Homo-oligomer: A and B are copies of this chain.
Amino acid sequence: MSNKQPLSTEPYKGVHDYYPEDWSKAQAIFNVIRTTLRKSGFEEYQASVLERAELYESKTSEEIVNQQTYTFVDRGDRKVTLRPEMTPTLARMVAGRRRELVFPLRWFSIGNRFRYERPQKGRSREFYQADVDIVGIEGAKAEGEAVVMAYEILRAFGATNKDFRIRMNSRALMNAAANALSLNTEDSASYLALIDRKDKMPVEEFESSRGTFRRNGTDPLELIEARTDESVDAVYRQFMALIDSLKARGMDNVVFDPTIVRGFLYYTGLIFEVFDTNPENPRALLGGGRYDGLVALFGDEPVPAVGFAIGIETLTDFLATHNLLPALPPPADIFIGTPSEANIANAQAVASMFREHGLNVLVNVSNKGLGDQVKEAVRRGVPYFVAIGEDETKLKKAKLKTLASSEEIEIGTDLIPAHIYKVRSDGA
């Protein structure tokens, strides 16, 4: 308590405070995601935000590791990183119990991730993501299920197929094209990086840069388009079959987009991203892909895995743009006012009875007059108000006020919970 200079009330740079209204909004979004995933038998896991730094070195994207991780040395000289993404942690946990776990795993995790980026709209240094993964199934079956889950989540918020577009690509297809052209590993990686930056550079620069990767006048993207190579064509047709199966399930907003690359180095098959069709939100809402090699980094054989991450901030922007933010519950169902301090014990007894019926109840404990207590209930957004004084206690009757309409009815105190539930179900 020795500080003289007042402390700043600002949070650490680039992160958010979640006041109750903000957190309630975030939790409502988490809950739609959670409920949708649980309907398909997905189970939630969690891990510490602290990870050994080596988990990311030369696995995650180089940009993230070199420029964006929060990495420090702890009091015991260990190099620690605040997780910038969840997938390496998932792979570590799967590898740690691969003999005991019942495969396939359908796992998800909702939590915070950390990247030291320049703070801007939809991009904070601590941000929330939902990570969804299917582990232990090879091929298109699991890839299809992953894309379906992403689709189902957005639909669960009330989004229609017109509101978003699912862009799918395949690292396997890219690799087949690069192989057919005999590009070496380094050139393949550079080519992917070039495609990834495509939208951030002038067309002329892109066109001149891609020249380096042409063999016999063709680069991988051009070969995929032309499909003059048999092996490329085989992978292409397999991938189109996956896309067609999704379209057959009503997902007419799925498109093949060979320019989708994604930054992470560990993808091996499908990669996909979902975008808002409204250009106001140009960043991907979610993205993911297949990463069959990641679990094997912990020793033992590879385990097939496919998954995606939803960025909660970009998702929130999407939902707000399309007017799809979930409705929020009030901080309490009813506010019990007290004419004087002497009534507080009685009010608390009534509150206990209401709570036993499942209601959330605020009881006045201030010395304010009843009028000011009603105003407080209104400011808090509580829908009902009832005052419990001596008469109400004696007669077991009270005036229940609906604050939105200022309507008041006289009602037996013990009938209030049933009345509130009835009005609520009639309105629903």
Binding site for B on A (CB under 8 A): 1-3, 6-13, 15-20, 22-24, 26-27, 38-41, 43-52, 54-55, 57-59, 67, 70, 72-76, 78, 80, 92-93, 95-97, 102, 104, 106-107, 112, 114, 116, 125-126, 137, 141-142, 145, 265-266, 293, 297-300, 331-332, 351, 355, 359-363, 365-366, 376, 379-380, 382
Contacts and interface: CB of A to CB of B under 8 A. Distances in A.
Nearest to A71: B72
Given A46-B23, A48-B15, A72 B75 contact: no
A361 B13 contact: no
Contact of A1 (B49, B50, B59, B80): B59
Contacts of A45: 17-20, 22-23
Given A11-B92, A50-B114, 10 more contacts: A1-B59, A3-B57, A6-B297, A7-B297, A10-B52, A39-B360, A50-B70, A50-B125, A74-B116, A145-B365
Nearest to A100: B19
Contacts of A332: 38, 41
A48 B70 CA distance: 14
Contacts of A3: 57-59, 297
A56 to B, nearest CB: 10
Nearest to A141: B365
Top-8 shortest CB links A-B:
A6-B299, A9-B96, A72-B72, A41-B362, A15-B48, A20-B43, A41-B332, A18-B46
A136 to B, nearest CB: 9
A175 to B, nearest CB: 13
Nearest to A297: B7
A297 B1 contact: yes
Contact of A19 (B93, B125, B376): B93
A299 B293 CA distance: 54
12 contacts: A7-B55, A9-B92, A12-B48, A17-B45, A17-B96, A20-B43, A20-B45, A23-B46, A24-B43, A40-B363, A76-B116, A104-B365
A360 B300 CA distance: 33
